[in-house]
Amino acid sequence: MSLTARFSCLSDYDPDALSVEQARSFIRSQLTPVGTHERLALRSALGRVLASDVIAPFNVPAHDNSAMDGYALRHADLASGDATRLRVIGTALAGKVFAGSVGAGECVRIMTGALPPAGTDTVVIQEVVRVDGDHLVIPAGQRAGQNIRLAGEDLASGRPALAAGRLVRPAELGLMASLGCAEVSVYRRLRVAFFSTGDELCSIGTSLADGEVYDSNRYTIFGMLTRLGCEVLDLGVVRDDPASLEAAFRDATAAADVVITSGGVSVGEADFVKPLMAQLGEVLFWKIAMKPGRPMAFGRIGGGERAAWLFGLPGNPVAVMAAFYQFVRDALYLLMGADPAPGVPLLPAVSSVAMKKAPGRTEFQRGIVSQVDGHSSVRPAGAQGSGVLRSMSEANCFIVLEHDRGQVAVGDLVQVQLFDGLV
Ligand code: AMP
Ligand code: MG
């Protein structure tokens, strides 16, 4: 079934008034990973997506070991309800096996990570005992098995430690290293071509003529794609004429899995971008109930071996970034093989100002969130026009005002989506 037919099947989806959630879920439902697999040395896998499960070849930890510095002993030796006196017969160090075993009335000093000596089953932390020469006095109330990490407690041998589809972050690198993985199987990098359209655009390095603006979208798009780990192909500013646009789409679809354009998809735009997209592929033109970023094109462009997914983003610099983060990021992760695409949670914050908002569209205001008196407080970051890129630069979050929400009063709870996290 064609993309257009699949979209028309959705009875409550109106292309001229699509909610953010509808657009997101339709895009998501159409995408499957595009890339082939490759094996890489562990460190090179950072930022990639696992193409197959990583199976634990052994238990982690491999052996029972002490979780604390203290004394290993036999729980059965401890008097119930009273202190117990045991003789210390040696020390068990991490990385060494304690020679000999521990008999009745004996115990061994043990370091974190050391294997409990034969005969012992419990570790008492050093802070609660009293040392008396070569003896130890242990207070009552110790639980059998306490402070011992069990073999296989973190990862059981033969079970998947990481599933295919997992994005490799620093924690995954460390986890795979702990399993002795020197190489991993990952999806190849996603290739994304992009260009800007609009006769008023000028590339940096040349001087501006009257009425021209520098093309900033190619730089934000470059930055966002590079952060996602995509291979990028910058096709520059493309003049708004059919021959130049067709050549750009041809080059883009020949080289890339995904093509991202900015500009020319607005309502009532009298140029060639939309007709060309429609002619070269199967493209849906949407008006999304959101601000900024109302117009967007989504579809397949080119044919056969030379087909690519298309995201036609609006031209306004803030709209480009909002549409990218709200739709394209998720889509690229799915095409990269991530399952599920890593989400960015919405967190509550108290609005320190009143905000105008009409029900019927989702707004992504640029906000500054900070900690005030133990709670998160948020305010908009300056002028909110969709061309004011400075608001994106000064902000540290989107203030997400939901579709059905009306005005925001001072002190109301709103949802924020942080720009940066721990990476
Ligand atoms: P459009 O969606 O093509 O109607 O563009 C909307 C607004 O965004 C216009 O003011 C354009 O000049 C501006 N714009 C479009 N593309 C870019 C770009 N690549 N860099 C900076 N501004 C742009
Ligand atoms: Mg334009």
Q: Which atom of ligand 1 has the smallest separation from the CA of 271? A: 3
**Smallest CA separation from ligand 1 atom 14, residue:** 315
What percentage of the chain reaches a pLDDT higher than 70? 100
Band of residue 267 on the pLDDT scale cut at 50, 70, 90: confident
Asked if the model's pLDDT at residue 403 lies above 90, the reply is yes
Tell me the per-residue pLDDT of 167-189, one tens digit each, with 9 for 90 and over: 999 999 999 999 999 999 999 99
Query: CB within 8 A of 275, min separation 6: which ones?
Result: none
Band of residue 46 on the pLDDT scale cut at 50, 70, 90: very high
Query: CB within 8 A of 61, min separation 6: which ones?
Result: 149, 150, 151, 152, 153, 154
The reported pLDDT for the residue numbered 271 is 82
Band of residue 10 on the pLDDT scale cut at 50, 70, 90: very high
Asked if the model's pLDDT at residue 16 lies above 90, the reply is yes
Alpha carbons 124 and 130: distance in angstroms, whole number: 11
Ligand 2 ion local residues (Cβ < 5 A): 198, 263-264, 315
- Both tokens assigned to 150: 């069990």
Asked if the model's pLDDT at residue 331 lies above 80, the reply is yes
Asked if the model's pLDDT at residue 100 lies above 80, the reply is yes
Q: What is the mean pLDDT of residues 205-228?
A: 97
Alpha carbons 220 and 318: distance in angstroms, whole number: 10
Q: What is the mean pLDDT of residues 86-104?
A: 95
Asked if the model's pLDDT at residue 153 lies above 80, the reply is yes
The reported pLDDT for the residue numbered 35 is 80
Tell me the per-residue pLDDT of 281-317, one tens digit each, with 9 for 90 and over: 999 999 999 999 999 999 999 988 889 999 999 999 9
**Smallest CA separation from ligand 1 atom 5, residue:** 315
The reported pLDDT for the residue numbered 270 is 73
Among 304-308, 352-356, 413-417, name the one with the lowest average pLDDT: 304-308
Band of residue 133 on the pLDDT scale cut at 50, 70, 90: very high
The alpha carbon torsion through 329, 270, 5, 8 (nearest 10 deg) reads 90
Compute the distance from residue 213 Cα to the ligand 2 centre, in Å: 11
Compute the distance from residue 151 Cα to the ligand 2 centre, in Å: 62
Band of residue 342 on the pLDDT scale cut at 50, 70, 90: very high
Q: What is the mean pLDDT of residues 133-146?
A: 96
Band of residue 248 on the pLDDT scale cut at 50, 70, 90: very high
Q: What's the order of all strands across the beta sheet hosting 281-287? A: 231-238, 191-197, 258-262, 308-313, 295-301, 281-287
**Which residue, 200, 244, 195, 238, is CA-closest to 219?**
195
What percentage of the chain reaches a pLDDT higher than 90? 93
* Rounded (5°) CA angle 211-217-222: 150
Ligand closest to CA 198: 2
**Smallest CA separation from ligand 1 atom 15, residue:** 315
Beta bridge partners of 106: 87
Alpha carbons 421 and 423: distance in angstroms, whole number: 6
Asked if the model's pLDDT at residue 397 lies above 90, the reply is yes
Q: Which atom of ligand 1 has the smallest separation from the CA of 273? A: 3
Q: What is the mean pLDDT of residues 400-412?
A: 98
Asked if the model's pLDDT at residue 269 lies above 90, the reply is no
Alpha carbons 236 and 39: distance in angstroms, whole number: 33
pTM for the complete prediction? 0.91
Which burial class, exposed, middle or buried, applies to 409 when counting CB atoms under 10 A from its CB (0-12, 13-18, 19+)? exposed
Q: Hey, which of 213, 214, 265, 389 would you mutate to test ligand 1's pocket, going by the most ligand atoms within 8 Å of its Cβ?
A: 213
Tell me the per-residue pLDDT of 63-85, one tens digit each, with 9 for 90 and over: 999 999 999 999 999 999 999 99
Q: What is the mean pLDDT of residues 338-346?
A: 95
The reported pLDDT for the residue numbered 192 is 98
Asked if the model's pLDDT at residue 227 lies above 80, the reply is yes
The reported pLDDT for the residue numbered 305 is 84
Residues with CB under 6 A from ligand 1: 196, 198, 200-201, 213, 215-217, 262-264, 266, 269, 314-317, 387
